[in-house]
């Protein structure tokens, strides 16, 4: 299908009129597909009604790449099936670099003014959706599904982009439901369900030189069920400088979330940290408000901030998450949060 789709894209992109590409009902095998601009057409719509199935190839950054496109609309009730189970067991047994080399399902590079609506991403080999360097993208009524133990299958990952909205969507996968990299500003996440997965995460930050700030993150009216983590901000110890601010989590329901609220500035997966100095990432103007539900562990709030840059202006308000395994507690290190309403004792 890939050559046919690329030909249709070339025709649509070169048209002076708004254009529509239809993927009809049915099942179609499609190889790696790069759909690039800039385009002459003032708007391109891709209507997905069928199931598009990925090859079993492991290598390659992305399965579908949209690059340098303005005014893009992808909609329909169709499915992108990444065929992840064919390689997940292999990926779990190889090096971390090989894990990240697997194909992401849909990648948006420098895409502006886009609406992605109604479609499903199933069993991605790697990230389901990734946004890099774009502006004004909306994901609405999206379904993302993969096994809870599928490796590195983040639902929607983004970096160095602005004005991103994720609305009214259902995400269940093996890694972060939503992950926010450096350089993200003005992100709105509303009415999203997450689970299984690793929750909603900002970071990890401070791993690479010249990271851009994160600011203006608003997560509201979301429900997390049977996830490892709930709401998490993470940065690497003793690496690079970055800052994140104006981050707000409001009206969140948690059902059996293992670690509901986390700030971890000693984040170090895969035993890769050689240095033990504090994180150089600055965190400020952060709030957790009206967080309710249940957790399978006692530690409901875990704020482990950097000793070099203690967290500033952190607010905890009405944190009512019950532990099913003992009295609920909170832990705060290198931070003096402002507390209102009830929260578990310890901070």
As a whole-number percent, the residues of the chain with pLDDT over 90 amount to 88
Would the pLDDT of 143 be above 60? yes
Residue 270 is predicted with a pLDDT of 75
3-state SS class at 185: strand
CA-to-CA separations, 137 to 46, 69, 102, 131, in angstroms, rounded: 15, 11, 24, 9
Enter the tokens of residue 325.
Answer: 């395994």
> Where do runs of H (alpha helix) occur along the chain?
2-14, 85-92, 96-100
Strand, helix or coil for residue 158? strand
The pLDDT, as a whole number, for residue 259 is 98
Per domain, the residue ranges of the chain are: 2-340
For the segment(s) 2-340, the CATH number from 2.40.30.20, 3.40.50.920, 2.160.20.10, 1.10.3720.10 is 2.160.20.10
Q: Point out the residues that are catalytic.
A: 198
Query: CA-CA distance, 58 to 86, in Å (whole number)?
Result: 9
Q: What is the pLDDT, as a whole number, of residue 147?
A: 97
Q: Which pLDDT score, from 0 to 100, does residue 29 have?
A: 96
Measured distance between the N- and C-terminal CA atoms of the chain, rounded to whole angstroms: 57
Mean pLDDT, rounded, for 297-306: 98
pLDDT tens-place string over residues 69-125: 999 999 999 999 999 998 887 765 554 444 556 799 999 999 999 999 999 999 999
């Amino acid at each position: 299908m890939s050559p046919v789709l690329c030909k249709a894209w070339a025709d649509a992109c070169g048209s002076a009129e708004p254009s529509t590409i239809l993927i009809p009902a049915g099942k179609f095998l499609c190889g790696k597909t790069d759909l690039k601009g800039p385009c002459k057409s003032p708007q391109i719509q891709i209507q997905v009604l069928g199931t598009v199935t990925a090859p079993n190839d492991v290598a390659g950054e992305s399965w579908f790449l949209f690059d340098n496109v303005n005014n893009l609309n992808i909609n329909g009730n169709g499915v992108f099936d990444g065929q992840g189970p064919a390689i997940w067991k292999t990926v779990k047994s190889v090096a971390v670099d090989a894990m990240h080399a697997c194909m992401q399902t849909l990648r948006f590079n420098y895409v502006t003014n886009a609406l992605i609506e109604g479609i499903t991403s199933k069993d991605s080999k790697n990230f389901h959706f990734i946004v890099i360097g774009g502006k004004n993208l909306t994901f609405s009524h999206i379904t993302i599904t993969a096994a809870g133990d599928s490796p590195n299958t983040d639902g929607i990952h983004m970096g160095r982009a602005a004005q991103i909205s994720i609305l009214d969507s259902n995400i269940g996968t093996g890694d972060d439901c939503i992950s926010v990299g450096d350089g993200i500003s003005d992100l709105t996440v509303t009415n999203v369900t997450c689970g299984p997965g690793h929750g909603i995460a900002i970071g990890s930050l401070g791993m690479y030189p010249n990271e851009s700030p994160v600011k203006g993150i608003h997560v509201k009216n979301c429900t997390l069920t049977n996830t490892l983590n709930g709401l998490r901000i993470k940065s690497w110890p003793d690496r690079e400088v970055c800052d994140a601010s104006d981050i707000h989590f409001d009206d969140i329901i948690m059902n059996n979330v293992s670690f509901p609220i986390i700030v971890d500035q000693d984040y170090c997966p895969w035993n890769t940290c050689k240095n033990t100095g504090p994180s150089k990432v600055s965190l400020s103007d952060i709030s957790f408000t009206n967080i309710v539900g249940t957790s399978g562990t006692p530690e409901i709030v875990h704020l482990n901030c950097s000793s070099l840059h203690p967290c500033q202006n952190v607010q905890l308000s009405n944190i009512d998450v019950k532990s099913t395994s003992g009295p609920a507690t909170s832990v705060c290190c290198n931070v003096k949060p402002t507390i209102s309403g009830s929260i578990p004792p310890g901070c």
